[in-house]
Structure 1
Amino acid sequence: MRVILIHMADTTNDQRPVLVLCGTGTTGSRVAKILDDRGVSLRIGSRSGTPPFDWQDQSTWAPALDNVKSVYVVYYPDLVFAGAVEAVRSFADLAVACGVRRLVLLSGRGEEQAERAERELRASGAEWTIVRSSFFSQNFSEKFFLASIRGGTFAFTATDVPEPFVDADDIAEVVVAALTDDKHIGRLYEVTGPRLLTFPDAIAAIERASGQAITYQPVSLEQFAAALDGEGVPGDYVAALSEVASVVLDGRNAYVTDGVRQALGREPRDFQEFARDTAATGVWAR
Structure 2
Amino acid sequence: MHVIFGSSGVVGSAVLTELHRKGLPARGVYRSRRPPHHAGEVARVDLETGDGLDASLAGAKAVFLATGDMIDQVAAELRVVEAARRAGARRIVKLSIMSAESEAFFYARIHRAIERGVEASGLPYTLLRPGGFMQNFIHYYGHAIRTEGVLRLPCHDFEENVIDARDIARVAAECLSSDRFEGEALTLCGPAPLSYSAMVAEISARTGRNVTFASISAEAFRASMLPYAVSQEHVDGISAMLRFHQEGRGTKTSDAVFDVTGARPRSFQDFAREHASSWLP
TM-score if structure 1 supplies the norm length?
A: 0.85
Aligned-partner residue type, residue 27 of structure 2: R
Q: Map 1:15-30 to 2 at 5 A.
A: 17-30=1-14
Q: How far does residue 252 in structure 1 lie from its aligned partner after superposition?
A: 1.6
Q: Number of paired residues?
A: 263
Provide, for residues 8-42 of structure 1, a one-character-per-residue CA deviation record: whole Å limited to 9, x for no partner: xxxxxxxxx21111111111111101212332111
Q: Map 1:76-225 to 2 at 5 A.
A: 76-77=68-69, 83-111=72-100, 112=103, 113=109, 114-141=111-138, 143-151=139-147, 152-225=149-222
Does the 8 Å CA contact 1:260/1:267 hold for their aligned counterparts? yes
Name stretches of at least 5 consecutive residues in structure 2 with no aligned partner.
35-41, 104-108
| Aligned mates of 2:221, 2:78 — CA distance in 1 | 32
Q: Which residue of 1 aligns with 2:39?
A: none
Q: Is 1:32 aligned to 2:16, yes or no?
A: yes
Q: How far does residue 234 in structure 1 lie from its aligned partner after superposition?
A: 4.5
Does the 8 Å CA contact 2:71/2:231 hold for their aligned counterparts? no
Name stretches of at least 5 consecutive residues in structure 1 with no aligned partner.
1-16
Does the 8 Å CA contact 2:47/2:79 hold for their aligned counterparts? no
| Aligned mates of 1:128, 1:27 — CA distance in 2 | 18
Q: How far does residue 253 in structure 1 lie from its aligned partner after superposition?
A: 1.6
Q: 1:254 to 1:126 in 2, by over 3 A?
A: closer
| Aligned mates of 1:247, 1:117 — CA distance in 2 | 20
Provide, for residues 40-79 of structure 1, a one-character-per-residue CA deviation record: whole Å limited to 9, x for no partner: 11111101454302322212211111121111100222xx
Q: How far does residue 205 in structure 1 lie from its aligned partner after superposition?
A: 1.3
| Aligned mates of 1:51, 1:165 — CA distance in 2 | 31
Q: Is 1:285 aligned to 2:280, yes or no?
A: yes
